[in-house]
Structure 1
Amino acid sequence: MAAADDGRKAIFFGRFISAPGPESLLIRQGAVLVSSSNGHGVIEKTDWTLTTPAAAFEAFGVEEQDVDFHQTMNNGFFFPGFIDTHIHASQYPNVGIFEASLGGKEPLADTNGAYEGDRGTETVNHSTSNPLSKADAVYTKVIRRTLSYGTTTASYFATISVPATNLLADLAFKFGQRAYIGRVCMDHPDTCPTYYRDETPDQSLANAIASIEHIQKLDSKGELLAPIVTPRFAPSCQTETLSLLGQLATDRKLRVQTHISENIGELALVKHLFPQYKSYTDVYHQTGLLTSRTILAHGIHLDDRELETIRTQGSKISHCPASNSALGSGFCPVRKLLDNGIDVSLGTDVSGGYSVSILDSVRQACLVSRQLGYVNGGDKKWNIGVTEGLWLATVGGAKCVGMEGRLGGFEPGMLFDVQEIDLSGENSPVDIFGWEKWDERIDKWVWNGDDRNVKNVWVGGRMVHSGK
C-alpha cells in the first residue's frame, strides 16, 4: 500500500487524468515519484514515457524495496482530489431531507451547537451528558464521507460554538483531510435567535479568534489545516461585527468565506438591514471582507457593478448548483462570471445540497448551465461541459482556496492530493464495454460514477481513504 507519509518515497504508476484547462482533458500514461521528506507529499518527478514498473524504478533512480509502489487497474486512473469550496459540516445530518426537518421542534442541537440547522432555526437539547458527542458523531461522519467521495480539500462552515468548531478542526487534522475551518459568526438581534448568536460584536470577534488560534496551534504553517473567517452572511451580523471580522482577516492574512446573493428574498433583506450601502457586494467591500482570499457562496443575482467590484478585489465564487436547484434559488450564470474574470469553483452546500459528492456537483453544474441556456433563448454559450466541470472541481477549487499551482494536477512541485478511480468491478455503477475511448469513459464516470468508483484517496501523499 502506497502511503508516502512516513518519510519514504512512493511511485504511482499507470494512467493519470486531469483537467488543467476548461477545454483540456489531459490523459497520460506513466509514473509519478512522490517525496514526503518534508512531511507533505510533494510530486518530485514525473515521466510520461514509461511503460513498465521496472522502467519507473530505473528512471527515478530508486530500488524497488526502498519505495512504496501503487499501480492503477486496467480501467482505473489517478485523478486530482476534488475541492469542495462550500459545505456546512454541521448540517450533514439533514442531507437528503434538505431543510424540511428544521422547521419542527425536535432537538437538533447540543449545548455546544453541534447541529446548527439551516439559517439558525434549530432548538437546543441539553439532555446529553457529553455536550460534544453529537458534534463528534456528525463531524467524524462528514469528514469520512467526503473523503470517500474523493474530496481531498473542504472549506467548512462549523457553528457558533468554539468547542464544537475546534473539534471539527481536530478531526479533520486527525483524518488527514485538507480543510479550512470557520467558526460561524452571528450576532444580529433582528435575524438570529437568542440561543444562537453572539451577544456583542466584541464577543463574536473574541470567539472567532479563539478558534483561529486553536486551529493554528494544530498546524502552524496552515499547510493541511487553516482557519477561515466566517460571517455566516451579511444579514446575520451587525455592521460593526462585519468590520471587525474584515480587519481581523486583513491583519492576520486569513481566508474569508460567506454567502452572497443566493436568493431574491435575501437581497431584499440586505437592502433593508444595510440601506447605507449600494449593494450586497458593497456591504462586504466597505467592511473589508472582500479580498483576494474571499470565497463567496452562490453569487446568483449579482449585477454588473457588483461583478466588477468582485473582479477588482480578486474575490471568488463557489457555485453550488444542486443546492440552488433544490431550494429554488435561481441559476448561477457561471459563464458570465468566468467571462468577467472571476474565479469560480464548486461547492456542495450541504445540506441545502443533497449530497457531499463534488462529482455530483460537476454533473449538476452541467445540467444547470443547459437550463440557463434555455431561458436565454437556447444560447449554447452558457453550457458547461464535462471537462470544464472537472476543471472547476479541481483547478477552479485550487484557485478559490488560494492553492493555485499546488493542487489540481500532476506537475512537479504540486502536493499529491489524489483519488484513484476504478471503473471496473461488480459494484461499479459505470458499465465499461472495452471499446470506449478514454474521454468517453470519463464522460461515463462523470454522469454515472459515485463513491463506489473511488478506490483510494491520498492527501499530501498520505492515504486517507481506502475503498478496498
Structure 2
Amino acid sequence: MDIIFFGTFMHSTKEHSLQILENHYIGINDGQIQFLTDKEDFERLAAKFSYNLQSVRHLKPGQFLIPGLVDTHIHASQYPNAGSKMDLPLLDWLEKYTFPLEAKFSDLEFAEKCYRKVVARTLKNGTTTACYFATIHPESSLKLGEICDEYGQRAYIGKVSMDISSHSNYTETTEKSIRDTRWFIESIKKLNNPLVTPCITPRFAVNCSPSLLRALGNIAKEYGGLPIQTHINETVRERESVLKLFPKHDSYAHIYESFGLLTNKTVMAHCVYMNDCEFDTFKETEAGISHCPTSNTMLQSGIMDLRKSLDKGVKIGLGTDISGGYSASVQAAIRDGVGASKTLGMDKSKSYKPVDFKELFRLATLGGSKVLGLDDKIGNFKVGKEFDALLIDLTVTDSPCDIFGDEISEDLLQKFIFLGDDRNIVEVYVKGQQRLQNNNFLC
C-alpha cells in the first residue's frame, strides 16, 4: 500500500543529532521509504513510483512525524512492579522483589496477561522496537514473542539464562538452560516473522557459571551470530562480586569477551562503572551500550558519564529498564538522561558539555537502531529504510502540553519530549503498517 505524508519530519543522522525537514513529502511503499523530498522534486518522484497524488496526507500545524522509538533494554517480566518497589539497591532489590516476581512466569496464564499489557503499553508510548528480557521459562518466553508477533512490534526476545541463584524456585541447571535456550530459538524462528528475533540472554555474570556463559556464546555463533544481551558494571557491589567470581579476568568486559559474548550484536545494559580498557574492548568488538538513566537513579546505582561514553565512540542507545526504571516510555529515559547528564556536569569543569535533548533523541532512535544492529533498516527516514514512525499531534484536545502557535519545530519536539505522553502519539507505524490510531490497536 502506498502512503504519502506532507509536512514536518524530524529525525537524526550520523552528522546531525536533529535534522528538521519542513514542507517535505515522504513516500512509503510496501513498508519501505521510497523518497523524502521537498516540493520541487515531488511530482517527478511521485510519477516515477506511480503514486496517486490524491492520496497525500497533509499534516496540520502542531503535527509532525518522528522515527519510532527504540528501547534497547526492558524487562517485560518485571512490568507488574513498574512504578513501585524501588527502595533497595540492585542486588537486594533482585532478591526481595524481582526474582520472586519472575518465578511466577512458570504460570502461562499469568505470563500472557502481563506480556499483553507491557507490549500494548510500550507500543502506545511509541516503542516500535524493544529488546526484551523475559524469564528462565521457555514456554512463557515464547508467549512474549507470539504477542509481539500479534501486535506487530519489532522485538528482540530473550529467554533468561541463569544457573546460579539464591532462590531455589527461580533457577535452572546448566543443562536445562542450554536445552531450553535452543528450544526457544527454534520456536521463535517458527513464527516466521522477520520482526521478532531470538536473543541470547545470560542474566549477568553473577548468575551464570563459566560453563553456561561458554555454551551461550557458542550457541550465538552456531546460529549465525544471534543478538546477545546482558548487564555489566551497573553497581560497584555487582562489579566487585563478579571480579571475585572470575579472579582470572582483569575486567568485567573481559569475562564476557572470553566466552564469546561480546560481538557487534551485543547489547550491554548500564555500563556505569567502565574503565578505559573496557571501552576499548567495546570498540574492538563493536558491542553496544544501553544507557538506562532512570533505573540507574531509582536504584541508586550511579550516574553513567554519557558524555565520556559518547566521546569514546561506542554505540549507545537508551533503555527504560522496567522495572528498575519506573516508566515504559522511552521519553522518560530521554528526560532522565538529560537530567542525569546535567547533574553530573555540576561537578565537572566549565568545559564539560552535558548531553542535550537532541543528542538523547538521536540515541532513542538512530542510536538504538545501531546498538541492535538494525540501522540498515530503521532509526531515521533515510530512503531505503523501513517506515517505523510516530505521528505526533500536540493539538489533541486532552494534550498534556500547550502550544501557542509561534513555536519553531525544534520547540515542538522539545515540548513533546518533556511534556508530552501517549495522548500525543496518535498513530504508530511499524514497517509501514499502522499498528495504533488514537490509542486503539489495529492488529
TM more than 0.5: yes
Q: CA deviation at 1:335?
A: 1.5
Partner of 2:107: 131
Question: Who is 1:87 aligned against?
Answer: 74
Q: Classify 1:460/1:123 alpha carbon distance in 2 versus 1 (closer, same or farther; 3 Å).
A: closer
**Residue in 2 that maps onto 1:110:** none
Q: What secondary structure, in the 3-state scheme, does the structure 2 residue paired with 1:141 have?
A: helix
Q: Which string of whole-angstrom CA distances, capped at 9 and with x for unpartnered residues, describes residues 41-72 of structure 1?
A: 111222222699x998657533357x6x5442
Deviation at 1:124? 5.5
Identity of aligned residues (%): 37
Q: Check if 1:364 corresponds to 2:336.
A: yes
Whether 2:425 is the aligned partner of 1:446: answer no
Question: 1:254-274 CA deviation, whole Å, 9 max, x = no partner?
Answer: 000000000011011102211
Q: Give yes or no for contact 2:112–2:143 (8 Å, CA) kept in 1.
A: yes
Question: Residue 25 of structure 2 aligns with which residue?
Answer: 31
Structure 2 distance, partners of 1:57, 1:341, is 39
Measured in 2, the distance between the counterparts of 1:99 and 1:401 equals 28
Q: Which amino acid aligns with 1:85?
A: T
Aligned-partner residue type, residue 339 of structure 2 = L
Partners of 1:289 and 1:123 in 2: how far apart? 24
Aligned counterpart for 2:35 among listed residues 25, 45, 59: 45
Give the letter aligned to residue 189 of structure 2. Answer: Q
Residue matched to 2:406: 435
- Which residue number in structure 2 is paired with residue 398 of structure 1? 369
Are positions 1:240 and 2:211 aligned together?
yes
Is it true that 1:186 corresponds to 2:162 in the alignment? yes
Is the alpha carbon distance of 1:230 and 1:117 closer, same or farther for their aligned partners in structure 2, counting shifts above 3 Å?
Answer: farther
Work out the CA distance in 1 between the residues paired with 2:95 and 2:191: 24
Report the 3-state secondary structure (helix = DSSP H, G, I; strand = E; otherwise coil) of the residue aligned with 2:250. coil
Partners of 2:380 and 2:358 in 1: how far apart? 14
User: Is 1:76 matched with 2:63?
Assistant: yes
Deviation for aligned residue 1:307: 1.2
Residue 140 of structure 2 corresponds to residue 145 of structure 1: no
Secondary structure of 1:195's match?
coil
Amino acid at match of 1:216: K
Checking the alignment, whether the CA contact within 8 Å between 1:102 and 1:118 is kept in structure 2 is: no
Cα gap change, 1:72 to 1:56, in 2 (>3 Å): farther
Q: C-alpha distance in 1, partners of 2:246/2:151?
A: 41
The AA in structure 2 aligned to 1:254 is L
Say if 2:99 is the partner of 1:120.
yes
Runs of 4+ in 1 over 6 A off after TM superposition: none
Distance 1:313 1:117 in 2: 35
Identify if the C-alpha distance between structure 1 residues 216 and 192 changes in structure 2 by more than 3 Å, giving closer, same or farther.
farther
Which residue of the partner structure matches residue 13 of structure 1? Answer: 6
Q: Which stretch has the larger CA shift, 303-312 or 94-103?
A: 94-103
**TM-fit CA distance, 1:194:** 1.6
Match for residue 289 of structure 1?
Answer: 261
Higher deviation after alignment, 256-265 or 307-316: 307-316
**8 Å Cα contact 1:31/1:50 also seen in 2:** no
**Alignment partner for residue 341 of structure 1, among 310, 313, 323?**
313
**Equivalence for 1:198:** 172
- What do you get for the CA RMSD once the two structures are aligned? 2.5
Judging changes above 3 Å, is the alpha-carbon distance between structure 1 residues 203 and 125 closer, same or farther for their aligned structure 2 residues? closer
- In the alignment, the residues of structure 2 paired with residue 206 and residue 449 of structure 1 have an alpha-carbon distance, to the nearest angstrom, of 45
Tell me what 1:3 maps to.
Answer: none
Distance in 2 (alpha carbons) for counterparts of 1:22 and 1:267: 35
Q: Check 1:359–1:59 CA distance in 2 against 1; reply closer, same or farther (3 A cut).
A: farther
Q: Greater shift after overlay, 255-264 or 366-375?
A: 366-375
Q: Secondary structure, in 3 states, of the residue corresponding to 2:169? A: helix
Secondary structure of 2:355 counterpart: coil
The question of 1:96 aligning with 2:83 is answered: yes
Partner Cα distance (2:322, 2:416) in 1: 22
Change (3 A) 1:317 1:94: same
Structure 2 CA distance for aligned equivalents of residues 49 and 311 of structure 1: 42
Query: What does 1:261-276 correspond to in 2, within 5 Å?
Result: 261-276=233-248
3-state DSSP of counterpart to 1:43: strand
Deviations 1:374-428 (A, max 9, x none): 12245432x1111101000011001000011321111211000000000112211
Can you give the 5+ residue segments of structure 2 that lack an aligned partner in the other structure? none
Query: For 1:427-460, what per-residue CA distance to the aligned partner results, in whole angstroms no more than 9, with x for missing partners?
Result: 1112110111111222222211111110100000
How many angstroms apart in 2 are the aligned matches of 1:87 and 1:363?
17
